[in-house]
Amino acid sequence: MSNTIDDFRNFFKQNKQTVNFCVNDVIDEILNMTRGIYNHDTIELRFTHQEKFFTLGYPNEFGQAILNIIANAKDALNELEPKKKWIHIKLYDNGTNIVISIEDNAKGIPETIIDKIYDPYFSTKEKKNGTGLGLYMTKMIIEEKLKGKLSVENSFNGACFYIYLTKAPYLA
């Protein structure tokens, strides 16, 4: 447990200098640190990609954004309790940007609130200690710190978040 806490502490240290980082590696690190929690909740985490992608920015903040999205998906899945719970992360190049899609099978976000989920202090978890800052911070990280774009839509299965980042060349 203390090793996990140290991993998180090191991962989220503020890094004020932009760096060229591998998006795949950050996602893998987040999934490796949290896999035990998701396994305990019988949630299948799947990450698919076909190549390594690099962007310029803040890898720790990017990791926090990924963690916020999958933590919200976990909460929605645990509340709904489908027979088979999953979160699928896909990383690909759409020709213009790096795209990260994060989809769950928790039946989606009600249309009445989908436009509010990035508002500060808006939470569907108020009775369960939700602060309403997770997705607000995630949007700020992606759009202000990483100069990307974050969007969400309901898919056939559940919610699907899309993160669009600018590609950077690999620098050895």
Is 16 domain-assigned? no
**pLDDT tens digit sequence for 15-39:** 578 899 999 999 999 999 999 999 9
Query: What gap in Å lies between CA 62 and CA 73, rounded to an integer?
Result: 17
What percent of the chain shows pLDDT beyond 70? 84
3-state secondary structure of 88: strand
Any domain includes 20 = no
Is 141 contained in some domain?
yes
Residue 123 lies in a domain: yes
Residue 7 has what pLDDT?
A: 47
* 19: in domain: no
Residue 170 confidence (pLDDT) = 74
| Distance of alpha carbon 78 from the chain centroid | 17
Task: Give the per-residue pLDDT at 151.
Answer: 97
Residues of the chain with confidence (pLDDT) below 70:
1-15, 122-132, 171-172
- Domain assignment present for 44: yes
Long-range contacts of 30-38 (CB under 8 A, 24+ apart): 30/63, 30/66, 30/67, 30/70, 31/89, 33/4, 33/7, 33/8, 34/67, 34/70, 36/4, 37/74, 38/70, 38/74, 38/87
Tokens of 126: 């108020």
Q: Kindly report the CATH number assigned to the domain that includes residue 90.
A: 3.30.565.10
Residue 126 lies in a domain: yes
Which residues are CB-neighbours of 72 under 8 A, at least 6 positions away?
134, 135
What values do phi and psi take at 144, rounded to 5? -95, -45
For 15, the token pair is 């890094």
Q: Which pLDDT score is estimated for 83?
A: 86
Domain count, the chain: 1
Which pLDDT belongs to residue 61?
A: 95
DSSP assigned state of 41: T
With a CB cutoff of 8 Å and minimum separation 6, the contacts of 14 are: 60
State which residues form the domain around 129. Answer: 29-165
Residue 22 lies in a domain: no
pLDDT tens string 37-59: 999 999 999 999 989 999 999 99
